Each structure stands twice: as C-alpha cells, then as structure tokens.
Amino acid sequence: MSGPLDGVLVVDLTRALAGPHAGMMLGDLGARVIKVESPGSGDDSRGWGPPFVQPEGAGRESTYFFSANRNKESITLDLKDPGDKEVLTELVRRADVLLENFRPGTLARLGFGTDVLAELNPRLVTLAISGFGHDGPEGQRAGYDQIAQGEAGLMSLTGSGPEDPQKVGVPIGDLLAGMYGAYGVLAALVERERTGRGQVVRTSLLAAVVGVHAFQGTAYTVGGQVNRGQGNHHPSIAPYGLFRCAGGSVQLSCGSEGLWRRLCAEFGFDPEAPGMATNGERVGNRQQVIELLETAFAEIPAAELLARLDAAGVPAGKVRTLDEVYAWEQTLSQGLAISVDHATAGPLTLPGPPLRFFAPGAEGEVETTRRDHTPPPVLGADGDAIRAWLSGAPDGVPQPAGDDVEDGHAT
C-alpha cells in the first residue's frame, strides 16, 4: 500500500499552488517528496489566510498550505548560500524528479539551469511550470491564477451572461497546471525506462486553461462561434442545468433524446411539441425550455423533485455546500477525506487523493491505494534528517541559512 511511485525521489522547489499540487499528487502516489523552502518564511502559502489553525505567533499554520502539501518532507535552503546550494546539488544527484515554478530564467541565474541539472543527473526529469510559457513574446510574465483565467478565456465563459465574467471558485488554472505537470512527469519517467535519460517537461497556467477549453474551443476553432457566459445552463445541450423549484433548486441533465422523453413522460410534457423535438431545437429555444420546466417544478419541493427524477431515470442532483460534501457518505466511501496527525495543529481532516488503485486477487480485486498519508510538514522539520541522509551519517548537522532567495516564482 505504499503506492505505484514507491522509490521515486521528488525534489520540490515550488511554492504557492500549481507546483505544490503537482508534488502532492506524486506524493499521493507513493513518491518521497522533499519540499525545499526559504528559511524563515517558507512557502508563501503558509501565510495565506485566514483561516489559520493557530492564533498569531510561532507555529501558526494556514489551511491554504495544508491543501497542497500532504505527503511531503520540508527542508529550508537559501539558494544564494554556497553550503545550502551544495545540499541542493546532492539532492539533485539523487533525485528522479525536480519540480520548479520560478519565473523563466530564475533557476539558471541561481546556478541550476537545465544544462547544469542534466550534467549533475542525466536521468533527472524536471517539471517547469510558468505563467504563460517559458518562451514567446510574453514568456517572462509572472503567472497568477485569476489573471490567467481571464487571459486564457475561461472567465469569458463563466458567469451569468456576457457582461458578467466570473472566475472559477477555486484557483483552477493553478490546479490544472499542477495536474498536467504531474501527468507529464509520469510520461517522462516511462520514457526514461526506454532511453535511460531524463528530460524537461514544461507547462503553464495559460496552457493548462487552454487545454481544457474542450467543446468551447472547437466551437470557435472549427465552428467560428465565440461562446460567452450564460449562467448555469449548458451551451450545447438542453435541458441541462440548474432549475428552480419550491424552496430551492435542482440540477438535471437530458444528454440524450431518451432522457428527454423520460422527463416528458414524468411531468406530462409533449416531447414532440414545436421547438422541442430535438436537442438542437431545444438549445435554440433554451429560455422556453427553462420556463416550461420551472413552471412545472414551482410547487414541488427539491427533495420530492429529486426523488421523482431519480424514479424516472433522469440524472439529477442538488447543489451541496462543502460541509455537506464532507459529511456525505459517498464522499467518505471514496477516501476523499483523510485523517492525519499534524505536529503542531494536532489531528486534522484533509481532502483526500482522487485516485484509487486495485489489483486482481484470488477472491476478487484487492485495493492497493496508499493509506499511510503524512500531514503537511512544519517548516524545516525534516532538515536534520535529510542532511544526515545526504551525508551518510546518522547525526548530520544542518548548514547555516542566509538570506531568502529572490522572489522569482511564477505561480
């Protein structure tokens, strides 16, 4: 149950969210992830709050930092200090993967350009996450999630209408860049098995958001149509969205003509009514479809409506708040909430990894998902042990730390 990446060493130089999320994903899969942080302050996200777990003073931890740093160790290094640079050099020599989200060119100025990394460790896989790409006319721009959501078109597709652009409620550009980055790392590790050599994997917030344009992207690149935000209803399927009912609302999806007919049978609609007979017609008459359904649902409480939709075989659901999600038995059954014991904050419940693994067994599938999760590390908590490991001695002594590294991170 140690995970499919057991034995893989990841050196994580990243901070904030995109890079740390990639590192956490690799740690969830069983890799040993050593997080390198600046002395004194550590990862910027340690100070992003409230909420904080403790009050002001030593030992205060932000819940933001907890969200992206489980299953890691922490060591503090000043990358301008010769002694600390030598520690990083030794880590690079032993690593399988290096993660960095400095602004393009910063790592090279610190003495760890891609040529140096390849010389130190030809088998090293490096993931570099930037804001808008490492090259091109705007490759030097710093990357921040909401800016990237806007620049990459996502905000134009999100909101109640064309004049109401909205960001997604989580830093989705950062998270997607981390996910794409981890995916690229895994592909590079597989290729290394054939070639014996590592390589650099690059992605960006811009690339990650454009990478999930999906049908909205081809609506323009193929169809010449520039879609805009239109609230909680699907631009290409109807009915598919959020509908008001007595005392609340429900979501439903008729992704096929068969489902439309089931909905009509349950509520007495004519599936062949003018403007309603095909999905294309319903999309063209979306407002009439919404009014038809909301009129029928107006006197039906949400719980009763959901029960009727379920009995009719029409996919439906409610909009849960986060407290409801984490209390939901289905969430818990999937391992999506885990318990860890933090060194200063005590017992914590954290969102859990989204992947599960199973192997065939004599009596059916046997789950092999990693279960021994470790809490997000206290700043520098593992420094002594890591230095001792690098030196081959049980009592390694950390080198003195100097000034913080320049503020060159991209995300």
Residue 359's alpha-carbon distances to 7, 187, 219, in angstroms, are 19, 22, 41
Asked whether residue 55 is domain-assigned, the answer is yes
- What are the b/e assignments for 155-175, b being 16+ CB within 10 Å? bbbbbeeeeebebbeebbbbb
| 29 vs 71: CA distance, rounded Å | 9
Tell me the average pLDDT across 90-106.
96
Read off the pLDDT band of 408 (50, 70, 90): very low
Is 257 found in the same domain as 112?
A: no
Q: Which DSSP state fits 398?
A: P
Is 380 found in the same domain as 300?
A: no
Those residues with Cβ within 8 angstroms of residue 58's Cβ, 6 or more apart along the chain or in another chain: none
- Residue 134's CB: how many other CB atoms inside 10 A? 18
Asked whether residue 132 is domain-assigned, the answer is yes
Is 157 found in the same domain as 278?
A: no
Asked whether residue 342 is domain-assigned, the answer is no
User: CA 99, 386, 12 angle in degrees (round to 5)?
Assistant: 10
Is 164 found in the same domain as 291?
A: no
Asked whether residue 332 is domain-assigned, the answer is no
Query: Residue 117 corresponds to which tokens in the numbers above?
Result: 């990394």
Asked whether residue 335 is domain-assigned, the answer is no
Is 127 found in the same domain as 44?
A: yes
Is 278 found in the same domain as 195?
A: no
**How many distinct structural domains can be found in the chain?**
2
Residue carrying structure tokens 């109401």: 164
Read off the pLDDT band of 1 (50, 70, 90): low
Is 296 found in the same domain as 372?
A: no
Minimum mean pLDDT range among 191-195, 232-236, 262-266, 405-409 = 405-409
| 178 vs 172: CA distance, rounded Å | 10
Residue carrying structure tokens 């009719």: 312
Query: Residue 46 corresponds to which tokens in the numbers above?
Result: 């340690």
Is 196 found in the same domain as 60?
A: yes
Is 106 found in the same domain as 157?
A: yes
Question: What single string gives the DSSP state of each residue in 331-367?
Answer: HHHTT-EEEEEETTTEEEEEEPPS---EEEETTEEEE
Residue 278's CATH number: 3.30.1540.10
Task: Count Cα atoms within 13 angstroms, Cβ side, for 53.
Answer: 22
Higher pLDDT among residues 270 and 61, named by residue: 270
Asked whether residue 29 is domain-assigned, the answer is yes
Question: What single string gives the DSSP state of each residue in 132-152?
Answer: S-SSSTTTT----HHHHHHHT
Where among 294, 317, 340 does a domain terminate?
317
Catalytic annotation present for 407 = no
Residue range 288-312, pLDDT digits in tens: 999 999 999 999 999 999 999 999 9
Strand order in the sheet with 73-76: 73-76, 32-37, 9-12, 97-100, 125-130, 200-204
Tell me the average pLDDT across 262-274.
97
| 73 vs 149: CA distance, rounded Å | 31
Domain range for 58 is 9-212+357-391
pLDDT at 363: 87
If you count DSSP H runs as helices and E runs as strands, how many of each does the chain have, helices first?
16, 13
Where among 317, 343, 374 does a domain terminate?
317
Catalytic annotation, pick one of 44, 78, 174, 372:
174
Is 262 found in the same domain as 117?
A: no
Q: Are strands 9-12 and 32-37 parallel, antiparallel or unpaired?
A: parallel
In terms of Cα–Cα distance, which of 403, 394, 408 is closest to 85?
403
| 127 vs 203: CA distance, rounded Å | 8
Is 170 found in the same domain as 84?
A: yes
Asked whether residue 250 is domain-assigned, the answer is yes
Where among 295, 317, 339 does a domain terminate?
317
| 254 vs 273: CA distance, rounded Å | 16
Do residues 8 and 119 make contact, with C-beta atoms less than 8 angstroms apart? Answer: no
Residue range 27-82, pLDDT digits in tens: 999 999 999 999 998 999 999 999 998 766 666 889 999 999 999 999 999 999 99
**56-65, 273-282, 366-375, range with greatest mean pLDDT:** 273-282
Those residues with Cβ within 8 angstroms of residue 339's Cβ, 6 or more apart along the chain or in another chain: 347, 348, 349, 350
Question: What single string gives the DSSP state of each residue in 285-310?
Answer: THHHHHHHHHHHHTTSBHHHHHHHHH
- Give 66: exposed, middle or buried? Use CB within 10 Å, 0-12, 13-18, 19+: buried
Asked whether residue 35 is domain-assigned, the answer is yes
State yes or no: pLDDT of 251 exceeds 80: yes
Residue carrying structure tokens 């014996």: 196
3-state SS string for 243-287: EEEECEEEEEECCCHHHHHHHHHHHCCCCCCCCCCCHHHHHHCHH
Residue 130's CATH number: 3.40.50.10540
- Give 370: exposed, middle or buried? Use CB within 10 Å, 0-12, 13-18, 19+: buried
Residue range 181-211, pLDDT digits in tens: 999 999 999 999 999 999 999 999 999 999 9
Is 122 found in the same domain as 170?
A: yes
